[in-house]
Chain A
Amino acid sequence: MRILGISAHYHDSAAGLLIDGLPVCAVEEERLSRRKNDAAFPLSAIEWCLDYAKLAPEDLDAVVFYEKPMLKFERILTMALRNFPHTWRSFPRAMKNALGEKLWVKGIITSQLGVPAKRILFTEHHQSHAAAAFYPSPYAEAAILTADGVGEWATLSLGRGSKQDGIELLRELRFPHSLGMLYSTFTAYLGFPVNEGEYKVIGLASYGKPSRANEVRKIVRRTKDGAFSLDLDYFDFHAAARRSYSPKLEETFGPARDPWEPLDLGSSDGMRFADVAASVQLVLEELLIDLARSLQQETKLEALCLGGGVALNSVANARLLRETGFKSLYVPCAPGDAGCALGAALWADRMHFKNPHRELPDHPYWGPAVDEDLGRIAREDGLPVLDLPDEAALVNRIADELAQGRIVGWMQGASELGPRALGHRSILAAPQDVAMREQLNRSIKYREEFRPFAPAVPVEHARRYFELPEGGERLGRFMSGVFPVRPEFRERLKAVTHVDGSARVQAVEEKTAPLFHALLTAYGERSGIPVLLNTSFNLAGEPIVNRSIEGYSTFRRSGIDLLVAGRTLVAKKEAA
């Protein structure tokens, strides 16, 4: 059975293909269109998936959209009515937005792909998240928690999954009460772009003290059944289109930061923003922990699968693993909406068509493979090119270069699904010096100084350098948890140790990423520590690179010293 899953029209559109119950490929539209967070109908991603599997649209048994457009429209309309007359400005915009394209998904799929309407299915948004979180996990049974901004009505779902009996979502929290909206409102308040700047809030939080946590707790009231409700006096996202927080939020926490203002952590305002970030982060963690703990007590299960955009909060994930009673925690490589493309297809396959479960390959590399154009392109520009004879030679050469302090753009195999670069489209560097971090921020990533860089380490060495709890390696596999760097190694891992002594560790398994694992090992033989700084291969405002020409253009415009695609190595003239 061939099922195509699609997510689109909010952010991070994607397509994924399932054949006989197993994922074959998946890619975000942005990687092909080169527009960051592309929300357009993912026609390029769909075409790539079908080409990859050598299928025509008519070969598909079903096309599954990741949410129910009419149900979502019902929520938008209902909120406009409930908040009448405050919604008079946002109503025309919301209607034009919905009526323009989002409501006609079935027609778009039919016209773009030529698939008969009867083969088009619609899962609920949180069903897609739940399936994306549970089915790829290694557990036969697990509790499921999904949380994001909003799908149709649900913003958070609790449930349980069994590979044999399927997924049962037990209860849900509904819009406007939303952990994702809480966090993104504070993201906007702190002057960062919503759906993109949440990572910055997490990074900033480590610089502050949660001194405003009580004030945040006041606006997130707990309900008798263990859920919560937002005090809507502090928010405007449910009624206004212009901004998501109300004047009352500014009265409580002080004036919001203008996005253009530099964030100076040496100033009182800068520290105020850091304290607010720390406070909202703490409250988010508390809420998640309470919800997960009660779910564990209710289900008595040992494993938790976490999905939705909130699952990208790696600091909260680590606490969930340590403090909720679950012995293991699984976060998929793409817990956000992009992962819903595969999630929707999986839900349809297991729950709708009742196909038996098949164990899924446990890796994040579902995208297009790197091409072989790099050598030709670089030679045309007169750059030195080296084609290395085998992987061993490649690994040794790159390990030598990294040990000498070079910054390497590293492209290997199929690209990752999801927002993390996990060793197939990565920028790699030595992790020892703060100077390296500053160089990366200044000449490559062009981003705020307070954002940390992540380390990658072979899984068998992870505990030596990082304080991982039980299940930490599993969480670190897709870089989904933040853990303390062991104090004795912090000096030698300065470039990847955050201000609070933590790091978002990637624990690399040999069977999942053999070449990257070999590189880490070879680097360890030279430096004494098999840890590399691993950051996504892109510049600010651009999607992660996909083809070698995109890696090459990034290499030419930044301070990267060496570029590797497959076994071809290109150096800048001064580094050759």
Chain B
Amino acid sequence: MGVRVAPSLFDRLLRPLHRWVWLDAHRRGKKLLRFAETEAAGGRDLVRAAELTEDALLRRLYLRHSQDEHRHAALFLGRAREVLQGATGEAFEANWLAPGERGFDDLRVGKQSQDALLAFLHLSEKAAAGRFALYRSLLSNDPQTRDLFGRILEDEAFHMSYTRSQLARISPRKQGLRLWQSRAGRIWKAYLRVATAIASLFGTILLTAQYFLVLPVFVLLAKRSARNEPDGFARSRGRGDLKSQH
């Protein structure tokens, strides 16, 4: 099965923004650190997948894949350290633009069927490979990081290839359906994440408003009680009532 690695249309449209993101050394270093964390977490997910599958071939492939991810994590970390050592100052970060290999998706290894997991991994790897190809093309000012992405891309191509071929082996009749389900699932989860983030933002605004509007009434009492608290030990509350949550 042929493997074509190309950035998505969305990422291609955002190319100028991605260029700006990767231009600053400090931001670049922090982004590489984040990739290191994402790759390590992805590696742990794959270990779990290997531990849960009853299919010996898949187990071997997942274990190899997890080792690749851990190696990538080490490579990203090493490069991040080099970049950050030469960088100064804090730059604005826009991590939402490049959330790493798993994207906005959240992998629940134990809760997915084998073919759904393979479809998910295939799409994740494909998305990551496309993005890494884009980053590589943007990093003419940093040849070492560009070469790092190049090396990692070779592994990503293998990961894309094996997840696709194994999906065809495990689920020959439903492979197309699984891929579409996985695509839809990624979009749904991305929507949920965005919706959750917006809800969280509203929650923060409301709570902050309450903090400044409602709490000050009680602040004086709390501060006075704090002043009256003696230094050092207090008597324990005793055996208490275990039925009470207070």
A and B contact pairs by CB, cutoff 8 A, 28 listed: A34-B44, A68-B246, A70-B244, A71-B245, A71-B246, A74-B246, A84-B223, A88-B212, A91-B208, A91-B211, A92-B211, A93-B204, A124-B237, A157-B236, A169-B238, A170-B236, A171-B233, A173-B233, A223-B233, A225-B233, A228-B232, A260-B81, A262-B81, A348-B242, A541-B40, A550-B51, A553-B47, A557-B47
User: B167 in the interface, Cβ–Cβ < 8 Å?
Assistant: no
- Contact across chains for A64 and B242 when beta carbons are under 8 A apart: yes
Q: Name the distance in Å between B214's Cβ and chain A's nearest Cβ.
A: 11
- Contact across chains for B47 and A92 when beta carbons are under 8 A apart: no
Across the interface, name the chain B residue whose C-beta is closest to A352.
Answer: B242
A154–B237 CA distance with the chains assembled, in angstroms: 10
Q: Mark A120-136, 1 if CB is under 8 A from B, else 0.
A: 01111001000000000
Tell which of A122, A172, A229, A262 touches B236, judged by Cβ atoms closer than 8 Å.
A172
Contacts of A96 in B (CB 8 A): 200, 203-204, 207
Tell which of B81, B236, B240 touches A159, judged by Cβ atoms closer than 8 Å.
B236
Within 8 A of A (CB), among B43-63: 44, 47-48, 50-51, 56, 59-60, 63
User: A434 in the interface, Cβ–Cβ < 8 Å?
Assistant: no
Within 8 A of A (CB), among B196-246: 200, 203-204, 207-208, 211-212, 215-216, 218-219, 221-223, 226, 231-240, 242-246
Given known pairs A68-B245, A81-B222, the reply for A172 and B60 (CB within 8 Å) is no
Q: Name the distance in Å between B179's Cβ and chain A's nearest Cβ.
A: 27
Contacts of B40 in A (CB 8 A): 541
Tell which of A64, A225, A258 touches B232, judged by Cβ atoms closer than 8 Å.
A225
Contacts of B235 in A (CB 8 A): 170-172
Tell which of A154, A159, A549 touches B51, judged by Cβ atoms closer than 8 Å.
A549
User: B116 in the interface, Cβ–Cβ < 8 Å?
Assistant: no
- Contact across chains for A557 and B67 when beta carbons are under 8 A apart: yes
Q: Name the distance in Å between B91's Cβ and chain A's nearest Cβ.
A: 15
Tell which of A81, A158, A159, A225 touches B218, judged by Cβ atoms closer than 8 Å.
A81
User: A533 in the interface, Cβ–Cβ < 8 Å?
Assistant: no
Interface size on A, residues (CB 8 A): 64
User: B117 in the interface, Cβ–Cβ < 8 Å?
Assistant: no
Given known pairs A173-B234, A260-B77, the reply for A122 and B33 (CB within 8 Å) is no
Contacts of A225 in B (CB 8 A): 231-233
- Contact across chains for B48 and A260 when beta carbons are under 8 A apart: no
Q: Name the distance in Å between B196's Cβ and chain A's nearest Cβ.
A: 11
Across the interface, name the chain B residue whose C-beta is closest to A89.
Answer: B208
Q: A87-B211, A121-B242, A260-B33 are in contact. List 7 more A-B contacts (CB 8 A).
A: A81-B219, A82-B223, A84-B211, A91-B207, A122-B242, A171-B234, A172-B233
A157–B66 CA distance with the chains assembled, in angstroms: 45
Contacts of A549 in B (CB 8 A): 51
Contacts of A228 in B (CB 8 A): 232
Given known pairs A70-B246, A82-B226, A557-B67, the reply for A380 and B56 (CB within 8 Å) is yes
Given known pairs A96-B207, A172-B236, A541-B44, the reply for A123 and B242 (CB within 8 Å) is yes
Within 8 A of B (CB), among A208-239: 223-229
Across the interface, name the chain B residue whose C-beta is closest to A119.
Answer: B243
User: A69 in the interface, Cβ–Cβ < 8 Å?
Assistant: yes
Contacts of A124 in B (CB 8 A): 237, 240
Contacts of A226 in B (CB 8 A): 232-233
Within 8 A of A (CB), among B26-51: 33, 40, 44, 47-48, 50-51
User: B139 in the interface, Cβ–Cβ < 8 Å?
Assistant: no
Across the interface, name the chain A residue whose C-beta is closest to B219.
Answer: A84
Given known pairs A124-B237, A223-B231, A229-B231, the reply for A553 and B51 (CB within 8 Å) is yes
Contacts of B221 in A (CB 8 A): 81
